[in-house]
Amino acid sequence: MRRELHPSKNFGGTITVPGDKSIAHRAALLSVLAESDITILKFPRCDDCHISLKAVEHLGVNVTRSGNELVLSPPESLAVSDDTILNCGNSATTARLLSGIVAGLDVTATLSGDESLSKRPMQRIIDPLSEMGAEFFSENGHLPVRISGGKLFPFDYQLPVPSAQVKSALLLAGLASSSGVTLRETIVTRDHTERMIETLGRGVSVRDVKAVAVPDPVDPRKKKMKMPEPFRREITLSSQAKIVGGIVDVPGDISTATFFMVGAAVSGKNITIVDVGLNPTRTAILDHLRAAGCSVVVSDKRTVSGELRGTVKIEGGELKPRKIHGETTASLIDEIPAIAVMAAFTEGTTVIRDAAELRLKESDRLETITENLKLMGVKCGVLEDGLAIEGGKELAGADFRSYGDHRIAMAFSIASLFLVGPSSIDDASVVRISCPEFYDILKKVTA
């Protein structure tokens, strides 16, 4: 669905954004393993989360809808035969987390996906789950994947790459199989799964490793900070861990909110986003906006269903280019398309490194960001693991391509507001993957 886009002199207001996808996925999928009902408030209407909901229904979970509330009742027995096919659509989160659940249950099922998802890597899930004792049958580590699960071995594992999906898959496998799991992260990733297990059940513990002061070997009179262990966080799941049930009130998705924050940053105006998630593993975008020259005010902070939330007000300022790399890139990985758009309107060169993971998303985002920025007249270079964006010039409207990627479509729809002349996006319908309300909210903030 092609959509015409136009510049706007107006930007700002007070908005809410749909519920956090990451949290909603996990709440839905955990219902398969729960002892009693899980009630989800503000479950998002996006295609991705609907896929997880359909998958658990296929496994026998009863879903009752009442307005903005879902009640998920766990199955008395799993509705799984050896020829069961669970369609994961375009949702990598569904495919990877569901792999963990199936691996830990005494069932055999096949996970499939659409053309885009079938190109995305599953080997990072298959390898550790196979070590735990599950059997996988796939072609070149991609969907479709046939999984034969069962009682798994206790597992001790250090994540080789920062991935909340891998971590979550292993924790869910342990839950499903009643097997102990210990995981270690050198870069801390989203911790929604750990928080939700604690909120809806019991049996998970988290230990953070802090740097300590030790004598400097060069000059013993001085101290230097050193990590006492070769990891930053250790997550332990007991073999007695379980999901009892309860209520999950889903906060607004900060990754969706980022697009409107960037709109405020580029326009120099302000926007207030109410009831948005403020999980500490997700708020690097606020730090980035502050460092880039924006005013960021957070208020009304509170914890609901184990997750911090609050109100965020962003006001644009004189933007400065930034260098993004290492752990910062990992914590901003979903926000990079929006950050790249902000960089296009920032005088100077923004450099993003350690972002090779972007090549494995719904599109090769390093390439698709670059192609669309060039259409605007931005000088942008693709690095092996990132981007170099030279911004600050007056930029022209363009006919953007979404490449079937929701975050690309949303990022360049925001960019169109500040270009000279009209623009378009070739397929605006892809925003349904994460935020079907996106253009309604965009209309509100530009009215």
Same-domain status, 430 and 310? yes
What value does the mean pLDDT take over residues 104-116?
95
Same-domain status, 14 and 56? no
Indicate the residue among 249, 282, 301 that finishes a domain. 249
Share of the chain above pLDDT 90, in %: 93
Domain enclosing residue 272, as ranges: 3-18+251-445
Question: What tokens appear for 384 in the block?
Answer: 């092996």
Indicate the residue among 205, 230, 249 that finishes a domain. 249
Same-domain status, 344 and 435? yes
Residues 6+ apart with CB under 8 A from 164: 22, 189, 190, 191, 192, 193, 281
User: Is residue 156 flagged as an active site residue?
Assistant: no
Alpha helices in 105-253 (DSSP H): 123-132, 164-177, 192-200
From the list 191, 249, 253, 334, the catalytic residue is 334
Same-domain status, 211 and 338? no
d(CA 236, CA 382): 39
Same-domain status, 48 and 192? yes
Amino acid 139: pLDDT: 86
Q: Quickly count: other Cβ atoms within 10 Å of residue 85's Cβ.
A: 11
Residues 152-164 pLDDT 10s? 999 999 999 999 9
Same-domain status, 235 and 256? no
pLDDT of 64 higher than 80: yes
Instruction: Give the chain's length.
Output: 447
What value does the mean pLDDT take over residues 42-52?
96
Residues 8-30 pLDDT 10s? 999 999 999 999 999 999 999 99
d(CA 39, CA 69): 7
Same-domain status, 75 and 114? yes
Q: Give kind and range of the element (H or E) at residue 376.
A: helix 365-376
Closest to 374 (Cα-Cα) out of 362, 382, 383, 385: 382
pLDDT of 86 higher than 90: yes
Question: What tokens appear for 78 in the block?
Answer: 């799993």
Q: Quickly count: other Cβ atoms within 10 Å of residue 213's Cβ.
A: 10
Amino acid 77: pLDDT: 86
Domain harbouring 109, CATH code? 3.65.10.10
Report angle CA 107, 108, 112 to the nearest 5 degrees: 130
The reply to whether the predicted model has a pTM over 0.85 is yes
What value does the mean pLDDT take over residues 416-430?
98
Alpha helices in 5-138 (DSSP H): 21-30, 47-58, 92-104, 123-132
Same-domain status, 266 and 241? no
Amino acid 400: pLDDT: 98
Same-domain status, 257 and 244? no
d(CA 128, CA 365): 27
d(CA 64, CA 281): 32
d(CA 294, CA 302): 24
Residues 316-328 pLDDT 10s? 999 999 999 999 9
Same-domain status, 28 and 8? no
What pLDDT band is residue 218 in, cutting at 50, 70 and 90? confident
- Measured over the CA atoms of residue 124, residue 125, residue 128 and residue 131, the dihedral's sign is negative
Same-domain status, 75 and 129? yes
d(CA 420, CA 416): 8
Look at the chain and report how many structural domains it folds into. Answer: 2
What does the mean pLDDT of the chain come to?
96
Indicate the residue among 198, 214, 249 that finishes a domain. 249
Q: Is 349 helix (H, G, I), strand (E, B) or coil?
A: strand
Same-domain status, 353 and 399? yes
